[in-house]
Amino acid sequence: MVQGALAGLAAGGLYAVLAVCLTLMSRLVRVVNFAQAATGMFGSYVGVALSVRGGLPEWLAVVLGVLLGGLLSVLIGWVVSTWLAEAGTGTRSAVTVAVLLLLISLSFILFGNKPQPFQALLAGPAFTLGGVVISQVTVVTVALAVVIAFAARLILTKTPVGISLRALSERPTTAELLGIPAKRLSAAIWGATGLLSTVIIVIVAPSQSNDATSLAMLVVPAAAAALLGGFRRLDLAVVGGLVLGMLQGALAQVDQLSVVRNFVPFLAIVGLLVWSQRKEVWDAAR
């Protein structure tokens, strides 16, 4: 189980990066972006198509796919910030559910519902820990999650741009009246998280099930990880992603529990939601 837990760090790093993106989106633009992984999936699929069918060099196809993932996110953000600027988080988030379903359907039409021939950008072991081989993918995904969370925290607390972003998240209309470019900052957040999502999916997709539905629904374990920090704390989002990946990896090593690992994110979401409402529940019970 220890070996499985360490092997699960690769998936944990993926969940952590997506959870950080979800947390930033929730904090800064008041959206739980259910299409976070779907935009990354679609961008990475286009990159594969450009390489395999279009004959482009692999590095160029990857770059174009990542840029497309970012542009898709910017487009969604522009729609939300233009027509739903004063809407609540629930309404704004509901739009991303429609985008999630649209991108999955579109990928079925263009690419089919089969795993795509991703080329591994990182391959081979990085080092051995306690007799367990740690892959390069694991090292890069975990490092990315930590670096992104740390960098985002520094930007939000130590820079003028971060102060503007925090003002935008708290009082968007007031911030815009004070001269803060609300739409541009929102688009930048959408674009940055879209790029990060596409990059991490391109890195991890060759080593796991990479059909369109599986990649798009990575948002579920990522949401479970982000929920640990209440969609507010970046550090707990990283911890939640890593722990979730390790737990799934450990369960996969036990035949009787291997099926349960697929339900762990849902159980985590339910448990965290119940725990977050404990005061109201206990007050009602008393």
Look at residues 285, 105, 77 and name the one whose alpha carbon lies nearest to residue 195. 77
pLDDT at 23: 94
Q: Which residue has the tokens 């497309």?
A: 68
- pLDDT tens-digit series, residues 133-172: 788 888 899 999 999 999 998 988 888 887 777 777 766 6
Categorize the per-residue pLDDT at 281 as very low, low, confident or very high, splitting at 50, 70 and 90.
low
pLDDT at 106: 94
- pLDDT tens-digit series, residues 57-88: 998 999 999 999 999 999 999 988 888 877 78
Measure Cα distances from 66 to 43, 107, 116, 150, 168 in Å: 6, 16, 16, 22, 27
- Residue 177 pLDDT greater than 70, yes or no: no
d(CA 201, CA 210): 9
Cβ atoms within 10 Å, residue 148: 21
Within 8 A by CB and 6+ apart from 194, the residues are 39, 40, 43, 69, 70, 71, 72, 73, 74
pLDDT mean over 213-219: 93
Measure Cα distances from 70 to 24, 63, 65, 196 in Å: 15, 11, 9, 8
Q: Are 176 and 21 in contact (CB under 8 A)?
A: no
pLDDT mean over 231-244: 92
- Residue 285 pLDDT greater than 70, yes or no: no
More confident residue, 33 or 30: 33
- pLDDT tens-digit series, residues 35-47: 999 999 999 999 9
Q: At residue 94, what are phi and psi to the nearest 5 degrees?
A: -60, -30
The one-letter amino acid at 57: P
Categorize the per-residue pLDDT at 243 as very low, low, confident or very high, splitting at 50, 70 and 90.
very high
- Residue 208 pLDDT greater than 70, yes or no: yes
pTM of the model: 0.90
pLDDT at 112: 85
Q: Are 240 and 195 in contact (CB under 8 A)?
A: no
- Residue 178 pLDDT greater than 70, yes or no: no
